[in-house]
Chain A
Amino acid sequence: MNSLNRFADPFYCVTRLIVGLMFASHGAQLVLGMFGGMPGSDNMMMQVGGWIQLVGGLLIAFGLLTRLAAFICSGEMAVAYFMIHVANAPTPMAKFFPISSAGPQVSNKGELAVFYCWFFLFVVFYGAGRWSIDAWIRKGKTAAATATT
């Protein structure tokens, strides 16, 4: 099955695009009021979080400053999970299980926050991949460096 590994990097780039755009949609919902807006998003903390999601999500999607943007987004999702999802969970079981389809007594519904947090941590370590603005800039720089030498 090692033949599949050849396509891992292009496929990673597609995944990064999709997840980044989905993440940016949450930011657009919070700060721009798109998709019907979100109730309770008019306080300072949610607005800051929303801008991180919107800008960071777009940077990750298109692969510009990818590792830095992913590090900040990953940290933001960790904060969101523990400060909002776990802190508001009423029962010990709900503090542990993040499963989004279960009831509020059982789950803190932070599954997306957990997923985004870990996925963006992976992006921090993996880097931007070949289909990204970062790779495009790097290619331009190496071409310029070889041209001058």
Chain B
Amino acid sequence: MIWLNRYTDAVYCVIRVVVGLMFACHGGQKILGFPPGERGGPTIASLAGWIELAGGLLIAFGLLTRIAAFISSGEMATAYFMMSFSGKVIGHPPTAMERFFSDS
């Protein structure tokens, strides 16, 4: 099966484009309102949106790829522990991390 390894880099590049563009769409939602969906929100959401939009496009087209991926990866770790891991739903009392990053 080693012959498959010849195409690893080509497949990787296609995946980088697909995943980068999907990631940028989340930023586009927050910043540009396109694709339509969640828009606005607190300052930290628009900061995240800019990282997602710019980072996603940089990753997709492979410009400054490693640094963009490092920042986007860190942003997703923050998002996971701030939102998903804390079981956040609408009306959820603020978690310790949200109080730390609170901007109101």
| Chain A residues within CB distance 8 Å of chain B | 1, 4, 67, 93, 97-99, 101-103, 106-107, 111, 114-115, 118-119, 121-122, 124-127
Q: Which of the residues A1, A4, A118 comes within 8 Å of B15, measured between beta carbons?
A: A118
Q: Is B36 an interface residue (CB 8 A)?
A: yes
Whole-angstrom CA separation of A127 from B11 in the bound complex = 13
Contact A124 B35 (CB under 8 A): no
Whole-angstrom CA separation of A101 from B66 in the bound complex = 26
| Chain B residues within CB distance 8 Å of chain A | 1-2, 4-5, 7-8, 11-12, 14-15, 18-19, 22, 25-26, 29, 35-38, 66
Please classify the interface of chain A as helix (H, G, I), strand (E, B), loop, or mixed, using the class held by over half of its residues.
helix
Q: Which of the residues B1, B5, B18 comes within 8 Å of A114, measured between beta carbons?
A: B18
Whole-angstrom CA separation of A127 from B3 in the bound complex = 11
Residue on A with the closest CB to B9?
A125
Residue on B with the closest CB to A71?
B4
Contact B37 A121 (CB under 8 A): no
CB distance from B68 to the nearest CB of A (A): 12
